[in-house]
Amino acid sequence: MAQQQRTGLLEGKTIVIVGAGPGFGRRLALRAAAEGATVVVAARTASRLDAMVHDIRSAGGRAYSVAVDASDATSVRVLREKVAEHTDAVHGLVNSAFATPSMKPLAQTDHEQIARGIDLSVLGALRATQEFTPLLEAGGAGGSGTGGRSGGSVVMMASAVIHHSRERYAGYKIAKTALVALGHSLATELGPRGIRVNTVAPGYIYGDTLKAYFEHLAGKYGGTLEDVYQHTAAKMDLRRLPTEDEIVDPVLFLLSDRASGITGQTLTVDCGEFHT
């Protein structure tokens, strides 16, 4: 379980993570459970989800898994139905499902690839948010409130790609920028029901997935993993890349009652690559 100090930040809350992957998603699940939440991990690969649940329970936390395909409305409905069998309120929903988009220039990108990226990142987040809205609204009555009305919290996982238009990133940028727009509109629509909607835009998440990619680049262009890291980090004010925990921390904050007055915001976490 997490090495960080535990504060009971999410005590009594149920947090659903859609697109709980092996890096960021797993770390978020472990840390949310360590902060007192019951965590629902959801993605397509049941074996990985089961291993996450095992790790959380072994550390004394509460978790269960539900296999879901975020691009399939029926599957998302089944996820909500299964969660509703366990609880009558959900306090946090993290929309993190992601599949590597086409990295070709737009001129060579088939529209189907762009549409698939939007379907998963944007409509996937919308499907889940719509399904969970009644449970998130009910979540306003629970949790460890701080005095004001503290409703359910939705966090969209975007990317700092929203801040640049570099070649080959168009498909990714289009999907993640639309996700930011979705977050804004949902914040407006769901705010009166006590539900907050915010977006986190990581620059990089320096974990095993990114390390493997940097190894690949080092092999392709010559040099070492450290060379690729330093070359990339040179663009950041802090001269380093955010760790998984540095992305998890603001997500935990936005899910918590400490962020009860924050909605409709996009928080870029990139060690200072972009000043937004």
Ligand X SMILES: NC(=O)c1ccc[n+]([C@@H]2O[C@H](COP(=O)([O-])OP(=O)(O)OC[C@H]3O[C@@H](n4cnc5c(N)ncnc54)[C@H](OP(=O)(O)O)[C@@H]3O)[C@@H](O)[C@H]2O)c1
Site residues, ligand X (CB under 6 A): 19, 21, 23-25, 43-45, 48, 68-71, 96-99, 120, 157, 159, 202, 204-205, 209-210
Instruction: Please identify the residue of the shown chain whose CB is closest to the bound ligand X.
Output: 21
Three-state secondary-structure class, residue 226: helix
- Tokens, residue 151: 């409703």
Local structure of residue 260 (DSSP, 8 states)? T
Closest CA to 15 of 216, 208, 255: 255
In contact, 164 and 274? CB cutoff 8 Å: yes
Closest distance of CB 158 from ligand X, Å: 7
Q: Which amino acid is at 164?
A: H
d(CA 14, CA 53): 14
Closer residue to ligand X, CB minimum distance, 41 or 259: 41
CB 243 to ligand X: min, Å: 11
CB of 34 to ligand X, least distance (A): 18
Closest to ligand X by CB, 45 or 113: 45
Would you say 44 or 231 has its CB closer to ligand X?
Answer: 44
Tell me, rounded to whole angstroms, the distance of Cα 95 from its chain centroid.
5
CA distance 45 to 99: 13
The distance of closest approach from Cβ of residue 48 to ligand X in the complex, given in angstroms and rounded to an integer, is 6
Q: How many CB atoms lie within 10 A of CB 65?
A: 25
Residue 184 tokens, joined: 């804004």
Longest dimension (CA), the chain: 57
- Min CB(164)–ligand X separation in Å: 12
Task: Please report how close the Cβ of residue 237 comes to ligand X at its closest, in angstroms.
Answer: 17
Q: Which is nearer to ligand X, 25 or 92 (CB)?
A: 25
Closest CB to ligand X among 13 and 173? 173
Q: Which residues pair with 39 in a beta bridge?
A: 15, 63
What is the distance between the alpha carbons of residues 83 and 63, in angstroms, rounded to a whole number?
Answer: 11
Nearer to ligand X, 19 or 143 (CB): 19
Shortest separation between residue 149's beta carbon and ligand X, angstroms: 29
Residue 267's H or E segment, with its range, is strand 266-269
CA distance 205 to 219: 21
Smaller CB distance to ligand X: residue 139 or 202? 202
